[in-house]
A and B are shown apart, each in its own frame.
Chain A
């Protein structure tokens, strides 16, 4: 066997073994093979068995997810590979409504017997909790979809790319940074493939093949004389793309202000590691910020997380209803504000859309975990709050008849609940570049990258930092600042939004592991936007603030 073929195979998760067993040089029992990666007909038969078992025990509704989750993580530091880990997890999760209550059970024992026991346990749990309910669970109707399929539109499956190619890329990234003067660098590649199969008693059978990847690094430059160290993290966005995302191409690069190279739908990790090292060195000489009011020019690599924390989370309907009170918190964006029809969440230029349909975005799928097709809807129109994010068991509380399709579980072993879709700020229709935007700022700070983010449990008061801060004086960038964070109130902040750049600057920010719920679940979500300006925001000096 050729070395390349060998590498390609070994980069795959065990559960994804699709090649003939003879390539491995030893026989694998064909029945065993089938059990590890059952075809659709087998999954359908197992799913039907689960639904029938749930019904037989008294469920009035049931859905089942039979899914395999593959992950590959490669971690390096400097010239060393610290770990190469493949993880395959396969199992079944069964959710039922019985006696008007939800019940859920999950097992990695994906056999007919295992599934029957699991369905019975889900019904037993629902019945045990029935005495504590006041209202039975209500699901808005969702027409059965029959058999459907959806795949992330990737060009090159990362699980088929040789491990050696991945290691070679990270070594090139690390070498480039060390050559540029980094004291340390860590770099990681993570790949996810979710092979999900969903079926419900509504008559929906959905097979989805979902891919995501997350390339990250962190450069550290230590000054032994002063005993200080500075870091700069990658400006990458995790994406719903294949390996092609890492083949940085010129057409997807933007020449930004301050000599920065920024990335749209493809990422040049080596190039960014070099500029990161320069930035970490420059930070040692950067001026500590003078606290006060500044106009902020926020790049999508930074603003994405601000959108996530201050718009995405407070408009989750489960938070608004109080379901997250014990953990993530509730929301200032209460139903009475929405019902008034004139709650001014932001200024007129603030138009925020929710969707699960934009190509390459992390939360883009074909169907949610309630069996609802992906869609797009407005959350904020010309600054006015117009809608929330909801699932089938909540949306009727808004008087709406169709689910938004926001149901998600992070594995076969987790119960689905309301998660954030992609939430994006629409770009300006008028032409405007970041350079033109900066030219009109008298006293401001241009901020890039994900820094320290903290916001209260109702999403009023926040304090956000970044990776890079550039001082703007009279329309020109004058050098780097350090110790910057802005502290504001969500509504005040979004009403200070004065201008956003055009679609030519529109890029996505992503977070690979957004946490919510009890038990805690992760979700991957993106936020699109163009560079945006906010006037008169309170900036603090983090070092002086203690």
Chain B
């Protein structure tokens, strides 16, 4: 019931617009069913499902606006929500930066929905959890993990005739395996649109291998090393990461206002400048078959293929409609996916071709130290290894690092074959002079 069809969503939108008296009204409807199973210590700890349907109404009288979100969608509730949003809007101060809402737009056909994910049952989740838990029990290691699937839709519309509808599914499995003595830990992640692609056993096998291999870690002195950052070390897993800190800084207004690395002294920004290694190319593409994304931004702007960095040259920044209008440039919305273009080398090949290099599985608890240099601090986690002459020689104790994604991207030596993580496509990367600042006793 929470997963409305395009026609059902249109009906609610029509109700909202029929009640609206403001100069402009925009509407967003989100519905979803999300299910999960969580396990630790080789047993299921919590598991549940949640369904919800929310309606957000934003109204404008001239440049005054107010917004109300509700999740009780009967006619009376919708009517009073419209009225409430309008009252707030009437009384709000003017926002001189408001631009008229967008009119009708053309959106590409989306491919970010899978019937197989939409049809998930509790038994399906239990089977995937079981395929992770049972091998851990047999191997006498501590298996933990989390599987979450979401089936949802978003419909956006406004009083100028814009309409967009997108149905989406996603599923992600993460697993962390620890040795029984607590000295080793390994991690693996798989993200898909289609639930049938999840291979719980394969993910668990990888995490288990890493856990066992990392159990007898040797302490290396902090300092600068050549490292291979696996995709989860570059892009994180739902947490702050080198990549998220980098992408978050691509805001044109912050750059033009002089409060970003991408701004220039005295004004302007660095678009067009060669800032990074030739090996760095980052783009977004909602139509990419491996990471299909929503074809529109929340404010109705179409999502297109956009090059952010090409062969080390900054090509584009993210603009609000207001700032783009003021600067006379195209208003590029924040992207729905990030694709770090890579080569053809697998992680194994990259290891084979490395010497005196540290392999990092995953990063953790990254926090900014300097918004201008994008310096961040964080820690390694769930498997750090020393590579000598093309082979993993031994595990290494965890480090804290103080490092900037700008340096990582300047010092790239190899970019491997990208894999999907979250809704992004991220390769393992090899980079030199990576700064480990201290040791951590954590496993």
Contact = CB atoms under 8 A, between A and B. Distances in A.
Interface of A: 6-7, 9-12, 14-15, 17, 24, 26, 28-29, 32-33, 35-36, 80-91, 93, 101-109, 121-122, 124-126, 128-129, 131-135, 163-164, 167, 171, 183-184, 220, 222, 224-229, 231, 321-327, 329-330, 332, 413-415, 417, 452-461, 463, 465, 485, 487, 489, 518-520, 540, 542-543, 545-546
A108 B46 contact: no
A224 B258 contact: yes
Contact of A485 (B81, B264, B369): B369
Contacts of A545: 402, 435, 437
Interface stretch (B84-92, B335-343, B383-391, B414-422): B84-92
Nearest to A542: B369
Contacts of B372: 228-229
Nearest to A456: B442
Interface in B35-76: 36-54, 65-72, 74, 76
Contact of B87 (A10, A124, A455): A10
Contacts of B210: none
Contact of B67 (A11, A86, A322, A332): A86
A542 B366 CA distance: 14
Contact of A227 (B258, B381, B443): B258
Contacts of A325: 40, 142, 144, 176, 178, 185
Given A231-B371, A456-B400, A460-B441, A14 B93 contact: no
A76 to B, nearest CB: 9
Nearest to A228: B372
Given A106-B50, A132-B126, A457-B379, A324 B40 contact: yes
Given A128-B125, A453-B367, A543-B373, 12 more contacts: A10-B84, A14-B80, A35-B74, A91-B52, A103-B47, A105-B48, A125-B47, A131-B130, A322-B144, A461-B442, A487-B437, A540-B402
18 contacts: A36-B72, A81-B92, A84-B65, A88-B68, A88-B70, A88-B71, A125-B49, A132-B126, A222-B257, A224-B265, A322-B178, A323-B45, A325-B185, A327-B174, A457-B381, A463-B402, A519-B34, A545-B435
A89 B55 CA distance: 10
B65 A83 contact: yes
A461 B259 contact: no
B258 A84 contact: no
A256 B243 CA distance: 40
Given A28-B76, A231-B371, A546-B404, A458 B443 contact: yes
A185 to B, nearest CB: 12
Given A133-B43, A228-B372, A458-B443, A540 B437 contact: yes
B105 interface: no
B53 A108 contact: yes
B106 interface: no
Contacts of A35: 72, 74
Given A80-B96, A133-B43, A415 B379 contact: no
B36 A519 contact: yes
Contacts of B176: 325-326
B365 interface: yes
A454 B378 contact: yes
A469 B123 CA distance: 55
A454 B367 contact: yes
Contacts of B368: 452
With most chain B CB atoms within 10 A of its CB, the pick from A163, A171, A545 is A545
A159 to B, nearest CB: 12
Contacts of B265: 224-227
A480 to B, nearest CB: 16
Contacts of B123: 128
Given A86-B68, A461-B440, A518-B38, A107 B404 contact: no
A542 B377 CA distance: 9
Contacts of A184: 257, 259
Interface in B184-242: 185, 238
Contact of A456 (B375, B379, B403): B379
B129 interface: yes
B263 interface: yes
B266 interface: yes
B53 A457 contact: no
A6 B437 CA distance: 58
Contacts of A90: 71-72
Contacts of B146: 326-327, 518
B76 to A, nearest CB: 4
A461 B68 contact: no
B40 A322 contact: yes
Contact of B83 (A24, A133, A465): A24
A460 B67 contact: no
B438 A461 contact: yes
Contacts of A24: 80, 83
Nearest to A9: B87
Interface string B251-271: 000000111000111110000
Given A134-B42, A545-B435, A128 B122 contact: yes
B398 interface: yes
Question: Nearest 3 A-B pairs (CB), nearest first?
Answer: A104-B48, A227-B265, A128-B122
Contact of A322 (B2, B41, B91, B126): B41
A107 B54 CA distance: 12
B53 to A, nearest CB: 6
B377 A14 contact: no
A458 B378 contact: no
Given A86-B69, A460-B442, A129 B47 contact: yes
Nearest to A85: B67
A413 B52 contact: yes
Nearest to B148: A519
Given A129-B129, A465-B369, A487 B71 contact: no
B344 interface: no
B18 interface: no
A14 B54 CA distance: 13
A33 B367 CA distance: 46
A510 to B, nearest CB: 18
A463 B400 contact: yes
A132 B135 CA distance: 12
B88 A89 contact: no
A454 B366 contact: yes
B280 interface: no
Contacts of B36: 518-519
B292 interface: no
B133 interface: yes
Contacts of A85: 67-69
A133 B44 contact: yes
B164 interface: no
Contacts of A80: 93, 95-97
Contacts of B96: 80
Given A321-B41, A322-B178, A545-B435, A329 B442 contact: yes
A457 B361 CA distance: 14
Nearest to B49: A105
Contacts of A17: 80
Nearest to A324: B40
B139 to A, nearest CB: 16
A54 to B, nearest CB: 14
A16 to B, nearest CB: 10
Contacts of A32: 74, 76-77
